[in-house]
Amino acid sequence: MHDTSSLADLDLLRLLTQESDSEALITLYRRYQGPIYRFSLQMSGSESVAEDVTQEVFLALMRDSSKFDPDRGSFAAYLFGIARNQVRRILGRGSVLSLVTEDTEDDSGLNSILIVPDDPLANLTKMEDLNALRQSILALPVHYREVVVLCDLEEMSYADAAAALTCAVGTIRSRLHRAHAILIQKLREEGNRPASRLRSNSRCFA
């Protein structure tokens, strides 16, 4: 066994592709399992779907790691692209997915949007706000939902999001702008506090 934790993604991928190095695969899994799971959960609203999609992403990588083309985007974008296709395939079957409403350890992206520094009183209502925002995101059409999850919650660059979704950067920008408008309107109509915080969040609405 050898330490692969400090190696870059492309070095790990080379070891996996050329030498079928199991440690390289384990390191990539540890590095990206959390983000892929969060993406799948926020897209589907189902923990079981998120688990299945995450497993499928790394099975696909294990089966044929040579499919990654660095000229088309980052390795992260490649993995998210596989996850996106898996989620869309499941959603396309018309499965009835239950909304995830409980607190989880995978809400870091939502927390960053809603947290109010040095305001404990406001943060007492954070979970109510998180649930409202999560359900509003899940209610978005899929093509808007995926750009919000990638760019806002996972903080992926527009270029990598475009690579993951196989579209132009301009399409990412326009979809994100429209998705933000829908979210703000929906939250405003429901009288939920996240609307004002979303509108003022520089990452989401720059």
Q: Residues with Cβ < 8 Å from 181, sequence gap 6 or more?
A: none
Q: Residues with Cβ < 8 Å from 129, sequence gap 6 or more?
A: 114, 192, 193, 194, 197
- CB of 164 within 8 A of CB of 125? no
Domains parsed from the chain with CATH numbers: 1-98 (1.10.1740.10), 107-206 (1.10.10.10)
* Per-residue pLDDT at 190: 72
d(Cα 172, Cα 180) in Å, to the nearest integer?
A: 12
**Could you report the per-residue pLDDT of 60-99, keeping only the tens digit for each?**
999 988 899 999 999 999 999 999 999 999 988 865 444 4
* Per-residue pLDDT at 113: 44
Single pTM value for the model: 0.77
Tokens for 136, please give them: 């509003």
CA distances from 179 to 4, 33, 142, 147 (A): 39, 26, 10, 8
Among 14-18, 73-77, 197-201, the least confident range: 197-201
Nearest alpha carbon to residue 25 among 40, 9, 45: 9
Q: Tell the residue number behind the tokens 């305001």, with chain if given.
A: 119
